[in-house]
Amino acid sequence: MTIVVAALAITTLIAIPVAGALSPATDTDASPAAGPDEVPDGTPDGAPDSGGNGAGAGMEAALEGVTAFDDIPAVTRMNPDLLRALKQATKDAAREDVSVEVTSGWRSPEYQDRLLQEAVAQYGSREEAARWVASSKTSAHVSGDAVDVGGFEATLWMKEHGPAYGLCQIYDNEPWHFELRPEAPQQGCPDVYWDPTYDPRMQG
């Protein structure tokens, strides 16, 4: 009898961990999958901000370390007069130890539309997104007539000195966005719009 009881006890001790090993695992620390209504963070101006300055990045990503002298589509496909003015301003700013970088220049229509879609997702409506991102049909970036500059000092420098080169800030809510206004050296820049929704060109 003693031998039988001992044998049963040993069998029970072995069976318990084995049964546990065969049970379905439940990972209580695992994060649930994102729901269909969750939207990833993004920054529509400029840009979905995926960095890089290769040839592909020159069209389809935010730019880093790029200047008016780089040979990439975002730069070379800008309006020639705008680019010429930007190059001169960049040279003169450098003499004052200010580095003017291009964070966005020419954009393909496809990239512009993607930025707009991301802005709608981020801001919740097309109306609110329009305060920051234009459609490909109205964007001055797609036509090559706008440049966004990077760096706090560069933005301040351009705001103060840009008009002498015909480079004007267009929107109050986008101090980095400049367009060419050839009459600015003599007449000054026109009044800025509060945001792009106040710009008649954006109504198309």
**Separation CA 117–CA 130 (nearest Å):** 10
The verdict on pTM exceeding 0.75 is no
Other beta carbons less than 10 A from residue 67's beta carbon = 18
**Separation CA 89–CA 184 (nearest Å):** 14
The predicted structure's pLDDT at residue 204: 64
pLDDT value at 191 more than 70: yes
Q: Which residue has the higher pLDDT, 17 or 167?
A: 167
The predicted structure's pLDDT at residue 55: 35
Q: How confident is the model at residue 61 (pLDDT cuts 50, 70, 90)?
A: low
pLDDT value at 104 more than 80: yes
Q: What percent of the chain has pLDDT over 90?
A: 67
Show the domains of the chain with their CATH numbers: 57-203 (3.30.1380.10)
**Separation CA 59–CA 105 (nearest Å):** 9
The predicted structure's pLDDT at residue 28: 32
